[in-house]
Amino acid sequence: MKMIQVQDLWWKYEAGQQYALKGINTEIDKGEFVAIVGPNDHGKSTLCMCMNGLIPHAFRGEIKGNLEVAGIDTIHSDIPTISTKVGTVLQNPESQFVQMTVVDNIVFGPENLGISPEEIKRRVGSLTKLTRTEGLLERTPDELSGGQKQRVAIASALAMTPEILILDEPTSELDPVGKTEVFSLLGRLKREANLTVVLVSHLMEEIVKYADRVMLLYEGKIELDAPPAEFFSNGDYLADKGVELPQVTEAGYLFDRSKRLLNAYPLTLESAYNAFRNVLTEGR
Amino acid sequence: MSTGRLSKSTVKGFIGYIRTDTPFFSLSPVTKLAVTLILSAIVLLIDDPRPLLVCLIFTLVLILLAKAPIKAMKLYTIGVLWMSCMCIFFNVIFRQSGDVVFQYGLLRVTTEGTIRGASILLKLLSMAYLTIFFVTSLRDRDIVYGLYTLRVPYSMIFVAALTFRSWGLFQTDLDTIRDAMTSRGLDFNKGNAFARAKKFVSVLVPLISILVKRIDDITKSVETRAFGSGIQRTYYHNIGLEHIDYAIIVGCFAALILTGILRYYYGLLSFSPYGL
């Protein structure tokens, strides 16, 4: 089942000189985990804002094409309707904390949708378990770490029971511990909830662990869209577009460039260990 | 982070940390506000220093029961005492009728000045400590929950909540910018008032830039969570008053009415026993 369908999508900000998105075409299946990578200001966040309806409803500009998310035409629908299907997690954990306590922040969305208190309570119970925020409910933002705040932001987005979760660089302002916390939660979401996830990130090491597909957005166009192994096999091309490879992939790439001994470039430390061990012990 | 010995029985309040194991903690913020306002009104109706002294003692008992943070109280007490001293001084100086209690040169202290001064001092102290009781037994969120209870339109409640929330963010941003500038050699404490104010202007540019970004992020965050959807909003928290809240509010109103009757029907609680 197609959860996101984008057809020839163009978008230009009112103050922009040129289109930020230029003829985007893609489809994302239910339960798929798609990572969007690319240099800054090349349209990643803009595409996310199209998917959650902020574009064109909260930004002025010119839009062309079609975009359907969970069966909703986001261009002609309103944000509250879209928000029942799409949860959004932004870069800055502080700014997403619009209420004074963790529990108030989690229930903010469902309250706005007029969900009954009993149902909200049920959601709080299950979500805090999933995001491991049970013990934090009465805490204020200054009593939380960055990783905890972002987990609360994810719980707040999930409290709307969305079918799609969009995360726009959710770890860019976190320390390594916070990053690990958020990605391990994303891993848990992938395993336990049949959620469609769109993640914008520069952390290639983490992307290869969770993503089913990786998409390169460059100058407003999708330049490459493939499963991680295939995507990162284009080392020179990606380097040319300003995208870093996972370190182990880069090591494999440099190692194999002349000798052609590896069957595939490793994506994780474990696969790199196995690949290099095979070459060293067996010659392949 | 609230850690350490106090964390088991305290929560971060509006001012300092407040104890959760007091009879007042679980009361509705509306009740606390009602107690503060009604008792303040009672204090205003009374002129006689003797019942005012009883009111002050009662207020102090409330504060003790509420286990208000001493540190927060100290600060306010200094301010209140300073203001009270000024009131007494002016009353003593400008109220010259009645028997002379003490005279030193032109300075003459009379019975009227003393009684009226004591009355104002006790009124001010009682009302100030009632405010302290109110403020130090509340968390910022209690004020917001109180507004829920009073059925204030949600847009106004949200503004209040966001204001409390934003204050912390503003402080953090301001400190970060100041630290960054200090690390580059700018001394904010150097120079006269004008020079120091000028240095703060340089803080404004990055601060405004950060604030604009924050506002943009907050807008995106609330928009994607159906804020302003037009749907009838529900409330997760139980925002009604409990029986105990009603009992306390009714009790306070009864005390107010009784005070009014004693004052205006029976002529008690005024300066009349002193012939003023």
Among A53, A114, A138, select the one facing B234 at the smallest CB separation: A114
- Do A98 and B221 count as a contact with CB atoms less than 8 A apart? yes
Looking at the structure, tell me whether residues B13 and B133 fall in a common domain.
Answer: yes
**Residue B265 within any structural domain of the chain:** yes
Give contacts of A143 with chain B, Cβ < 8 Å.
1-2, 12
- Containing domain of residue B171, as a range? 152-223
Looking at the structure, tell me whether residues B130 and B248 fall in a common domain.
Answer: yes
Q: Is the dihedral of CA A209, A213, A217, A220 positive or negative?
A: negative
Q: What angle do CA B148, B149, B154 make, to 5 degrees?
A: 20
- Find out whether A183 and A210 touch, Cβ atoms under 8 Å: yes
- Do A52 and B230 count as a contact with CB atoms less than 8 A apart? no
Among B141, B232, B233, select the one facing A100 at the smallest CB separation: B141
What is the predicted ipTM? Answer: 0.83
Looking at the structure, tell me whether residues B127 and B55 fall in a common domain.
Answer: yes
CB pairs under 8 A between A and B: 116
- Do A95 and B227 count as a contact with CB atoms less than 8 A apart? no
**Residue B233 within any structural domain of the chain:** no
pLDDT digits (tens, 9 = 90+) for B197-215: 888 888 888 999 999 988 9
Mutation for A interface: B170, B224, B233, B235, most A CBs within 10 A: B224
Question: How far apart, in whole angstroms, are the C-alpha atoms of residue B232 and residue A80?
Answer: 13
Residue pointed to by tokens 């909540």? B161
Looking at the structure, tell me whether residues B64 and B118 fall in a common domain.
Answer: yes
- Do A90 and B217 count as a contact with CB atoms less than 8 A apart? yes
Looking at the structure, tell me whether residues B106 and B193 fall in a common domain.
Answer: no
CATH of A2-101+163-244, one of 3.40.50.720, 3.30.310.50, 3.20.20.120, 3.40.50.300: 3.40.50.300
Mutation for A interface: B162, B235, B236, most A CBs within 10 A: B236
Looking at the structure, tell me whether residues B127 and B163 fall in a common domain.
Answer: no
Residue B276 C-alpha from the chain's centroid: 33
Question: How far apart, in whole angstroms, are the C-alpha atoms of residue B95 and residue B117?
Answer: 9
Among the residue ranges A14-18, B93-97, B145-149, the one predicted with the least confidence is B93-97
Among B141, B162, B234, select the one facing A115 at the smallest CB separation: B234
- Do A103 and B229 count as a contact with CB atoms less than 8 A apart? no
**Residue B146 within any structural domain of the chain:** no
Among B2, B161, B223, select the one facing A99 at the smallest CB separation: B161
- Residue A150, pLDDT > 70, answer yes
Among B161, B214, B219, select the one facing A100 at the smallest CB separation: B161
- Residue B5, pLDDT > 80, answer no
- Number of structural domains (chain B) is 2
- Residue B9, pLDDT > 70, answer no
**Residue B230 within any structural domain of the chain:** no
Predicted confidence band of residue A258 (pLDDT cuts 50, 70, 90): low
Amino acid at B104: Y
Write out the two tokens for A124.
């709080």
- Do B225 and A54 count as a contact with CB atoms less than 8 A apart? no
Looking at the structure, tell me whether residues B127 and B15 fall in a common domain.
Answer: yes
**Residue B228 within any structural domain of the chain:** no
Pairing assessment for the beta strands A196-200 and A164-168 based on DSSP bridges? parallel
Torsion angle of C-alpha atoms A231, A150, A92, B3, degrees rounded to 10: -140
Stronger pLDDT, A165 or B87, i.e. the higher one: A165
**Residue B236 within any structural domain of the chain:** no
Is A104 in the B-facing interface, judged by CB distances under 8 Å?
Answer: yes
User: Coil, strand, or helix at residue B193?
Assistant: helix
**Residue B194 within any structural domain of the chain:** yes
Looking at the structure, tell me whether residues B126 and B259 fall in a common domain.
Answer: yes
Alpha helices in chain B (DSSP H): 29-45, 49-66, 70-94, 111-136, 140-149, 154-183, 193-223, 243-264
pLDDT digits (tens, 9 = 90+) for A33-89: 999 999 999 999 999 999 999 999 999 999 999 999 999 999 999 999 999 999 999
- What pLDDT, on a 0 to 100 scale, did the predictor assign at position B7? 43
Residue spans per domain, chain A = 2-101+163-244, 246-284
Mean local confidence (pLDDT), B101-110: 78
Among the residue ranges B98-102, B116-120, B167-171, B261-265, the one predicted with the least confidence is B98-102
Give contacts of A107 with chain B, Cβ < 8 Å.
236
Pairing assessment for the beta strands A61-69 and A2-13 based on DSSP bridges? antiparallel
- Find out whether A57 and A79 touch, Cβ atoms under 8 Å: yes
- What pLDDT, on a 0 to 100 scale, did the predictor assign at position A155? 93
